[in-house]
Structure 1
Amino acid sequence: MIDLFSRFFSSAADNAAGQDDERDLIVAIGALFLEMGRIDETFTEPEMAKVISILTSKYGLSGEDAAALLDEADRELEASVDLWQFARVINERYSIPQKEKLIERLWQIVYVDGKMDKYEHYLMNKLSNLLGLSHKQLIDAKLKVLHGK
């Protein structure tokens, strides 16, 4: 099997434009996952484990590759002014159903501890708007996570 990590993180000279796009996309997703985990200022071990689990099971990364991706996403977050740059990358490359799945995964991070605080609530609404999803789509994704569908 092709090592997905090398596709995302190989040097720019070796990358085709499509691979750069994929790398940008997965870094943007990782940045949103990190921001969701940190929004309440307590990025817990269970939240980090959920983020790693999503990256390995849904995006095909190894645990080591997922950790390296999150390091890169963390650097990008530190350099960013806001989340729009990450949402823009996702909006350019993801269909509505793919964005709905992404919102579901973000809800999974929110509910690792079984509850949602006001900061997580705010960020979920903000991300839904940035991704061009309706309130109904946001709530439907939340209900899927809460009801284990």
Structure 2
Amino acid sequence: MIALLKQLFQSQTQALSPQEQERQLNLAAASMLLEVVYADETLSESEAELLPQLLVSTLGILASEAEQVLVEAKRAQRNATSLYEFTAEINRVYSIGQKQQLLLAMWRLAYADGRLCQYEDQIIRRTADLLYLKHSELIRMRNLAKEQTD
């Protein structure tokens, strides 16, 4: 049964155009960033300003595209049942370096308001596990983010 589901998923993603696949991937990554933003149930001004910038720098999209990606990602994030929906797509395509950059962006968002909420920390740690990143990579990205916010 699981093999059949995997086959179905792979056939659906292969049927998408390269542009649509990239769009889905950007939505998955943006949704992961939104998970951090919504973890503490408040959207600070600093997080609201930083989020589009991180989309541009992390995903390599234009600033004009960032707002549209955010609108679509908010919709996808609301309809999601778990983080796995997003991380499965990311794992399929992203290199380790790209996963690390996404995690760094998540940490930067978590520290944007000047404090780290336990729920933000929990989401990022769970994401790192789902992205198959080592604990040392998680800590290194956290330390980099802290240095960049100081």
Q: Normalising by structure 1, report the TM-score.
A: 0.83
1:68 to 2:58 alignment:
no
* C-alpha displacement of 1:16: 6.4
Amino acid at match of 1:19: Q
4+ runs of 1 displaced by more than 3 Å? none
Contact 2:44 2:113 in 1 (8 A): no
Q: Normalising by structure 2, report the TM-score.
A: 0.83
Contact 2:103 2:141 in 1 (8 A): yes
State the identity as a percent: 31
Taking the aligned partners of 2:40 and 2:68, their CA distance within structure 1 comes to 23
Contact 2:28 2:90 in 1 (8 A): yes
Taking the aligned partners of 1:55 and 1:77, their CA distance within structure 2 comes to 16
Amino acid at match of 2:21: D
Q: In the alignment, which residue of structure 2 is the partner of 1:50?
A: 50
User: How many matched pairs?
Assistant: 134
Q: How does 1:108-127 map to 2 (within 5 A)?
A: 108-127=108-127
For the residue of structure 2 that corresponds to 1:148, the secondary structure is helix
Q: Give 1 or 2: higher helix fraction.
A: 2
RMSD: 1.8
CA 1:16/1:119 → structure 2, altered by over 3 Å: closer, same or farther? closer
Deviations 1:101-120 (A, max 9, x none): 11011111011022211111
Amino acid at match of 2:94: Y
